[in-house]
């Protein structure tokens, strides 16, 4: 068991997905601290707050109103302050174009939202147990898209 709860932040505009995400972490037996924002604007506001506690892992939906996940990704990667945040793209689409662009822009992993709750739990467990500090050094296009 870890000494400190893993801080997880999700940015997703879909209310159902937010619910599944929250419930999945409740069922996973790992100490986590889940924070959820409703879109890209809110996400950037949250991250840029002076007293913000930065997440270990950010789950980023791509298709969001006001500010898309792609825009957020670019903004985060431009700011050295956020260097330690591991970014997992969390999207319905798995189009080549999206995968390519998020990889180029420095996301750590690409998750296609599963259509099964059990799979979702497995994926999330996988993601938060990876030591991203080590993982990023061996970042590779071929295993960028997470498949279980």
Tokens 């319905």 sit on residue: 92
- The values of phi and psi at residue 137, to 5°, are -65, -30
Residue 67, Cβ density class (10 Å: 0-12 exposed, 13-18 middle, ≥19 buried): middle
User: Least distance in Å: CB of 64 to other proteins?
Assistant: 12
Q: Residue 91: which H helix or E strand, with range? A: strand 86-91
Could you say whether residue 76 binds other proteins (CB under 8 A)? no
Q: Residue 53: which H helix or E strand, with range? A: none
Could you say whether residue 92 binds other proteins (CB under 8 A)? yes
Q: Which of 45, 83, 117, 129 binds other proteins (CB under 8 A)?
A: 117
Stretch that binds other proteins, among 31-39, 72-80, 109-117, 135-143 (CB under 8 A): 109-117
Could you say whether residue 16 binds other proteins (CB under 8 A)? yes
DSSP state of 48: T
Binding site for other proteins (CB under 8 A): 14, 16-17, 20, 23, 63, 92-93, 95, 113-118, 120
């Amino acid at each position: 068991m870890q000494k400190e709860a893993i801080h997880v932040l999700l940015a997703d505009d879909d209310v159902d997905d937010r619910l599944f995400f929250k419930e999945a972490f409740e069922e996973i037996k790992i100490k986590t601290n889940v924070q959820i924002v409703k879109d890209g604007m809110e996400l950037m506001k949250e991250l840029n707050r002076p007293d913000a506690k930065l997440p270990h892992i950010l789950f980023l939906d791509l298709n969001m109103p006001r500010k898309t996940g792609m825009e957020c990704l670019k903004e985060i990667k431009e700011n050295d302050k956020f260097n330690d945040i591991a970014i997992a793209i969390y999207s319905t689409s798995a189009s080549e174009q999206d995968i390519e662009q998020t990889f180029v822009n420095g996301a750590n992993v690409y998750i296609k939202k599963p259509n099964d709750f059990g799979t979702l739990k497995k994926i999330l467990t996988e993601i938060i147990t990876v030591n991203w500090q080590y993982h990023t050094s061996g970042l590779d296009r071929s295993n960028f898209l997470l498949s279980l």
